[in-house]
């Protein structure tokens, strides 16, 4: 049995979903499931968060998130300090992971073989979904013991 995982994109059921070209042809489908990215991540634009220092006291006064007067970074050995210019998207970024919540990421799906390269599902796939398809490939034999 072959198990393949791929991202089919947003597909409205019962439209055809084509397996990747690197996978062998389908003889018969066995099962499928969709691994869905939690709500809020698929439509959440990629971005970084401003780096903000903690514990220095005083109101934030510059792009570094530091109090007034603390607007340089010392690299401990350079001839002088370096000022990080800009703020918002052009300031220091820490790429902090964002916390999102959502439903169970596994969605049941019933596959139907359409052709040796395509299947359809009984549910829609959404942008960012991972489809896990289990199938018997053409020429594969199952021995009964």
Q: What is the pLDDT of residue 46?
A: 53
Tell me the domain boundaries of the chain. 2-43+99-137, 48-97
Residues 73, 87 contacting (CB under 8 angstroms): no
**Tell me, what's the pLDDT at 12?**
95
Encode the chain (145 residues) as per-residue pLDDT tens digits: 899 999 999 999 999 999 999 999 999 999 999 998 765 555 555 554 444 434 445 555 665 555 566 655 544 444 444 444 444 444 444 444 445 455 668 889 999 999 999 999 999 998 888 999 999 999 887 778 7
CB 81 within 8 A of CB 69: no
DSSP code of residue 135: E
CA atoms within 13 A on the CB side of 49: 9
């Amino acid at each position: 049995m072959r198990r393949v995982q791929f991202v089919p994109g947003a597909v409205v059921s019962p439209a055809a979903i084509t397996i990747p070209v690197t996978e062998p042809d389908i003889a018969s489908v066995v099962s499928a499931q969709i691994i869905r990215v939690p709500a809020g991540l698929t439509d959440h634009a990629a971005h970084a968060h401003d780096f903000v220092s903690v514990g220095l006291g005083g109101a934030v006064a510059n792009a570094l998130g530091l109090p007034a007067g603390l607007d340089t970074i010392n690299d401990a050995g350079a001839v002088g300090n370096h000022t990080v210019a800009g703020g918002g998207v052009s300031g220091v970024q820490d790429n902090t992971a964002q916390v999102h919540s959502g439903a169970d990421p596994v969605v049941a799906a019933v596959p139907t073989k359409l052709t040796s390269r395509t299947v359809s599902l009984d549910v829609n796939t959404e942008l960012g979904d991972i489809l896990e398809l289990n199938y018997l490939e053409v020429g594969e034999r199952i021995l009964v013991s």
